Amino acid sequence: MNFESKVVHAGDRKRRKGAFVPSTTPIHLGTTYFYESAATLDRVLGHEEEGFCYVRYNNPTNEALEELVTTLEGGYGSLATSSGMAGLQIAFQAALTDRPHTILASDSIYGATVSLLDQIMSPFGVKVKYVNMCDLAAVEKAISEVKPGCIFTESVSNPLLRVGRLDKIAEMSRAAGASLVVDSTFATPILVRPLDLGAHIVVHSATKYLAGHGDVLGGVVVSGDEEHHQAVRSIARINGPLLGPFESYLTMRGIKTLAVRFERQCRNAKALAEWLSQHPCVERVYYCADPQHPDAEAIAHCFTPGLFGAILSFEIKNADKARVLAFMDRLQMIVPGTSLGDVHTLLLYPLIASHRTISPKMRERMGLRENLVRVAAGIEHLEDIKADLDQALRAPANTLG
Ligand SMILES: Cc1ncc(COP(=O)(O)O)c(C=O)c1O
């Protein structure tokens, strides 16, 4: 099946028997499962027979969503989690099972992930080191110095859209015996498939493109092999940060239109990036289709040909924080918010949102300037998005030339 068909069909009508087999998976709210004989329950609890026992171990709605995302990423198995961050924490813990408690992370990642590493993992004895994942020589050197048990990167970084050679990083990671965990939230399995490039675990904030409509908080952890999947599930079986069945249902419903949504969002983003790069109020545009992009080679290697993602960032000429906030207040249709991946275009100011908790020193290292905003293109008509940005940029306070 092709991707466009898998998003519509995978996960549904699985393992269902009897007179009523819904064509799409419904919401199963039951917490506990009943069997005619205690012996059957014993076998199911003992993993000798397939079945459901208790919602923290799994339920049919989550299982269908997990099967769907596993299929899309080409993985071994998945876990649907209560948020993307919960998924990342489980992925790190699973990656470090039986491996040295050191994480080598990209220095260009989502702010809350830096907080997870520095404020949650680190106090529990996990050493965290940061490196520029787009500099392969630096990655190789860091691996030989810190001997990590886990290497972590985003397939497309937030918000400056840096892209590393995942295949090369995976090679180095495997040679060093480390697990490679990739946050592929920005990319979706349409743009990049990290497991195909050698990663061990892929994490998505399902809150974004997978669910896609601004009404779900969730995550998915996809493992490429049995060892990592079992480690992920064993942790979740105990601490249970699972996605609720209602959210699983909504995410699955969202994914059915992922291919059509994302392709249009990519088209809108590309056109916006081209238009903004000629705009008199814009200093610089960051977008993966830019031939001058510092990671053009990695993009050509890792991305699906012809697509460059649905996110772009740009710096507003002569804007300080007050001017950026005023620009956001002038937006009429575009939603100024702290998310991405929805059907409506979202504009985020990293300084006050995704990277608020990052120290100024780390922000400088990441190259995040005070005048940078990030746009996650929606599916609206391109001319409406342009018109809204244009009027907000051209208002007297910003037309400084
Ligand atoms: C790249 C990336 N990863 C992970 C997350 C965390 O996702 P969630 O909010 O679902 O926990 C976000 C949220 O913005 C994100 O942008």
Nearest ligand 1 atom to alpha carbon 85: 11
Residue 154 CB less than 6 A away from ligand 1:
yes
31, pLDDT greater than 90:
yes
Residue 243 CB less than 6 A away from ligand 1:
no
Cα atoms found within 13 Å of the Cα of residue 266, Cβ hemisphere only = 21
399, pLDDT greater than 80:
no
Question: So where are the chain's domains?
Answer: 3-255, 259-394
401, pLDDT greater than 70:
no
Query: What is the residue with the minimal CA distance to atom 6 of ligand 1?
Result: 84
Architecture of the domain whose range is 3-255: 3-Layer(aba) Sandwich (3.40)
Mutate-to-test residue for ligand 1 from 160, 184, 207, highest number of ligand atoms within 8 A of CB: 207
Give the pLDDT confidence score for residue 72 in this predicted structure: 98
Give the pLDDT confidence score for residue 204 in this predicted structure: 98
Model confidence at 211, in pLDDT bands (50, 70, 90)? very high
Q: What is the pLDDT of residues 130-189, one digit of tens each?
A: 999 999 999 999 999 999 999 999 999 989 999 999 999 999 999 999 999 999 999 999
Give the pLDDT confidence score for residue 41 in this predicted structure: 95
Across residues 31-54, what is the average pLDDT? 95
> What pTM was computed for the model?
0.95
Structure token pair of residue 17: 């028997």
The catalytic residue among 165, 208, 270, 363 is: 208
Query: What is the residue with the minimal CA distance to atom 8 of ligand 1?
Result: 84
Tally the residues of the chain.
401
Query: What is the residue with the minimal CA distance to atom 14 of ligand 1?
Result: 339
Give the pLDDT confidence score for residue 400 in this predicted structure: 45
Across residues 285-299, what is the average pLDDT? 97
Average pLDDT, the chain: 95
Q: What is the pLDDT of residues 318-336, one digit of tens each?
A: 999 999 999 999 999 999 9
Distance 181 CA to ligand 1 centre (A): 15
Of 70, 25, 65, 86, the residue nearest 255 (C-alpha): 65
Is 208 annotated as catalytic?
Answer: yes
Across residues 185-209, what is the average pLDDT? 98
Architecture of the domain whose range is 259-394: Alpha-Beta Complex (3.90)
Across residues 353-380, what is the average pLDDT? 90
**d(C-alpha 369, C-alpha 311), whole Å:** 17
Give the pLDDT confidence score for residue 264 in this predicted structure: 98
Across residues 374-379, what is the average pLDDT? 98
Is 15 annotated as catalytic?
Answer: no
The catalytic residue among 110, 130, 286, 349 is: 110
Query: CA geometry: angle at 373 spanning 367 and 375, to 5°?
Result: 120
Identity of the residue numbered 164:
G
- Do 62 and 242 meet the contact criterion of CB atoms below 8 Å apart? yes
212 φψ region: left (φ > 0), alpha (ψ -120 to 50), beta (else): left
Model confidence at 397, in pLDDT bands (50, 70, 90)? low
Q: Is 294 helix (H, G, I), strand (E, B) or coil?
A: coil
Distance 10 CA to ligand 1 centre (A): 24
